[in-house]
Amino acid sequence: MASGTQTRGDSDAGEKPGVRTSLSAGETVQKIERRRFAEFVNLFLGPVAALSSEQTLLVKRELLVSLSRRAVYWIVLLSVGSSFLFVCGSWIKTSDIFLLFRFVWVLGLWGMATPMATYLLKKTMALPKHAGTNAIEQMHWAWAALVMLTSFWWAAGSFGLTPPDYSSHAPYLQFTRPGFLEYTLISHAFTVLLLAPSLRATLGSLVFGAIPFGFSMAPALFINRPGMLVWYSAQLIGYCFIAWFIFYNQKRACVKGVILDEARSRAEAAKAEKNQLIAAISHDLRQPLTTLGFKLNYIERNIESTKLAEDISIAQRQVDAMEVMINGALDICRLESGTWNVEIQEVALPSLLHGIVVDMQPLAEAKGLKLSLHSRPYVVRTDRHALDRIVRNMVINAVRYTPSEQGGKRGHVLVSCQRRGSCIKISVWDNGIGIPEGRQADIFKSYVQVDNPERNREKGFGLGLSIVQGLANLLGHKLDMDSTPGLGSRFSVTVPFVGRIPPELLEVQTVENGAPDLTNMVVAIIEDNSDLRIEISMRLIEHGCYVVAGESSSDVIEQLRIEALASGPHFILSDYRLENEDGIAAITAVRAATGTSIPAILWSGDTSSAVLKKVAVSGMKLLSKPVSEQTLLTLLARHKPKTSIEGA
């Protein structure tokens, strides 16, 4: 007995490894088959990324939400179709039971499927944010079951329709049982597309919806039209394959969306963490730097040694540079993190711009630059502190990159504002080094400087224009920039116009330079050379003119229309040789558009007899290039209106 028992145990022990080997081999074969099948799918749809359990849950939830909404559309579509079939269908009329069937069938779709779909939609939308896999799967199966039941109920309507008639006199386009089957098969394109987020719902709808048709149609088709039975079956199988491919394509799109959302969230979190770190460092460094700055100032005032005073002055400049850099970094962090609070209010431009120019005047004079302002009595809607920072940074940038002298001309920075319809355009002009066209797209990026490869701290740290861009975006103000290498640049910000300051409350806020005052004189400039047009505009704006400039008469007329000036222009300056017209025609067009005989003058480098004769016939005056600034100002002063305009 003992020996037998032992033998039996040996036999069992010998069988179990065999079973394990067989199961292991079976599992390996299944894995290989699944891998080959996945490779086959990827050949058509592309590979799918490996997901974590959290990502898989997100994908399932996204597909469930998409299915819930689409299934409602699908059920409503069937309900509407049932109403149409109820009215226009060819129903059996030989018994009252079929009439009752007809009402029960349509009420089943409207009274059962539609309310259930609404209930499941509310339940799906109410799923907790952190619902687990089981809860999502249960809702998914609930939707699939409702879809299958609805599809089955829809197809069951064929039992109440007129049976197939295969005689030669049978009407084809009639809502009888065969027509109902064919139209249902055609409409399966909507089924496949709308139920694409769920393969089980799509296939269940197709298969369960085929069962009633199989019982009501298959016997007659098998006997009379076996070929049609094969065709309908092949059509249904084809829909199943299409549904399978569309589902996996939909799933892959959802997977990509989840991966992109998570990558975006990680990037935003990393950016926020970086901004928080920089802000913390900047904030913590400002206190000791402030203390150190005060201490150095005190020592510098009380030191007696000249050599030591010079060293302390150098140290003070280093502290100032560090403070500027830290403040700039902190401002960038505030903008990127959305913690810069703005207070939109009505702001008087004259006092704001005058304060900026007065503050920047010592910096400009130390560099040998001329800094001038031409302001107008405008009130704008903006945040005063933010707009002050924008314009101030633009002025600082212009002063830093404008040499004291270039090409025999003194460096000049001009701050001006002009009305453009319902907006005010505040511009900072300079005749400095300009910006190459290939670098203009980068100048508003942080720590980017066009002409400072040696990182000279006297030229700043490359944060000023980045802050300008950030503040402009925050306020919704438009930034513009025009620049020509070697000739200069113009930076502008456009702000909403509110109105004009009443004359009795207006203070003179213009930094004068001793030149003739042409304040409130509207001058139209027609010049197709952009560099010359900008240069003349700067000179005239500096002397108080309101300039409307363009490369053609149509440009000037359009600007005059947009700005809706109450008076003007008071004078027209035009080049003779323009691209698409001559100066005489351009001046005539502007006069015709305004309905007034505006004083005008031409300038040209062409002094041929033909040109001189044509100008003489027109009755206009011609100045030969080059025209001196003093000549131009004297000419304009003679035509300056005695009363100021109200619409400028």
Q: Which residue type does 610 have? A: A
Residue 149 has pLDDT above 90, yes or no: yes
> In this predicted structure, what is the pLDDT of residue 19?
41
Residue 565 has pLDDT above 80, yes or no: no
> In this predicted structure, what is the pLDDT of residue 337?
60
d(C-alpha 432, C-alpha 483), whole Å: 10
Rounded to 10°, the helix 177-194/53-88 angle is 150
Which of 313-322, 443-452, 525-534 has the weakest average pLDDT? Answer: 443-452
Question: Please, what is the Cα angle at 442 between 436 and 445, to 5 degrees?
Answer: 145
> In this predicted structure, what is the pLDDT of residue 50?
65
Residue 209 has pLDDT above 70, yes or no: yes
Confidence of residue 5 (pLDDT cuts 50, 70, 90): very low
Confidence of residue 169 (pLDDT cuts 50, 70, 90): low
Mean pLDDT across 518-528:
85
573 membership: H or E segment, kind and range = strand 571-575
Q: In the predicted model, what is the mean pLDDT of the chain?
A: 77
Residue 368 has pLDDT above 80, yes or no: yes
374 membership: H or E segment, kind and range = strand 370-374
Instruction: Answer whether 463's CB lies under 8 Å from 455's CB.
Output: no
| Best-predicted range by mean pLDDT (257-261, 476-480, 642-646) | 476-480
Residue 616 has pLDDT above 80, yes or no: no
* H helices present in 165-225, as ranges: 177-194, 199-224
Which of 261-275, 444-458, 468-482, 591-605 has the weakest average pLDDT? Answer: 444-458
% of the chain surpassing 70 pLDDT:
69
Confidence of residue 146 (pLDDT cuts 50, 70, 90): very high
d(C-alpha 411, C-alpha 2), whole Å: 115
Q: Which residue type does 457 have? A: R
The DSSP bridge partners found for residue 621 are: 601
pLDDT by residue (tens digit) across 218-254?
888 888 888 888 998 899 999 998 988 888 888 888 8
> In this predicted structure, what is the pLDDT of residue 175?
77
> In this predicted structure, what is the pLDDT of residue 143?
93
pLDDT by residue (tens digit) across 107-135?
988 988 889 999 999 998 988 888 888 88
> In this predicted structure, what is the pLDDT of residue 208?
92
428 contact partners, CB below 8 Å, separation of at least 6: 391, 394, 395, 397, 398, 413, 414, 415, 490, 491, 492
Q: Is the peptide bond before 485 cis (omega within 30 degrees of 0)?
A: no
> In this predicted structure, what is the pLDDT of residue 512?
43
% of the chain surpassing 90 pLDDT:
10
The distance from CA 599 to its chain's CA centroid, rounded to whole angstroms, is 47
Which of 249-263, 395-409, 430-444 has the weakest average pLDDT? Answer: 430-444
> In this predicted structure, what is the pLDDT of residue 510?
42
Confidence of residue 20 (pLDDT cuts 50, 70, 90): very low
What secondary structure does DSSP assign to 96-162, as a single string?
Answer: HHHHHHHHHHHHHIIIIIHHHHHHHHHHHHTS-TT--HHHHHHHHHHHHHHHHHHHHHHHHGGGGBP
> In this predicted structure, what is the pLDDT of residue 447?
42
C-alpha distances in angstroms, 137 versus 49, 65, 501?
22, 12, 68
> In this predicted structure, what is the pLDDT of residue 442?
58
Residue 454 has pLDDT above 50, yes or no: no
| Rg for the chain, CA atoms, rounded | 41
What secondary structure does DSSP assign to 50-101, as a single string?
Answer: ---HHHHHHHHHHHHHHHHHHHHHHHHHHHHHHHHHHHHS-B--SSHHHHHH
> In this predicted structure, what is the pLDDT of residue 151?
92
Which of 150-154, 281-285, 336-340 has the weakest average pLDDT? Answer: 281-285
Q: What's the pTM value of the predicted model, to 2 decimals? A: 0.44
Residue 498 has pLDDT above 60, yes or no: yes
Higher pLDDT, 480 or 303: 480
Higher pLDDT, 631 or 10: 631
> In this predicted structure, what is the pLDDT of residue 516?
65
Residue 96 has pLDDT above 90, yes or no: no
Q: 3-class SS at 603? A: strand
Mean pLDDT across 26-37:
63
Confidence of residue 274 (pLDDT cuts 50, 70, 90): low
Residue 197 has pLDDT above 70, yes or no: yes
Which of 338-352, 423-437, 546-560, 630-644 has the weakest average pLDDT? Answer: 630-644
Residue 344 has pLDDT above 60, yes or no: yes
User: 163: which 2 tokens?
Assistant: 């049976």
Confidence of residue 150 (pLDDT cuts 50, 70, 90): very high
Q: Which residue type does 481 have? A: M
Question: Quick one: three-class SS letters along 447-486?
Answer: CCCCCCCCCCHHHCCCCHHHHHHHHHHHHCCEEEEEEECC
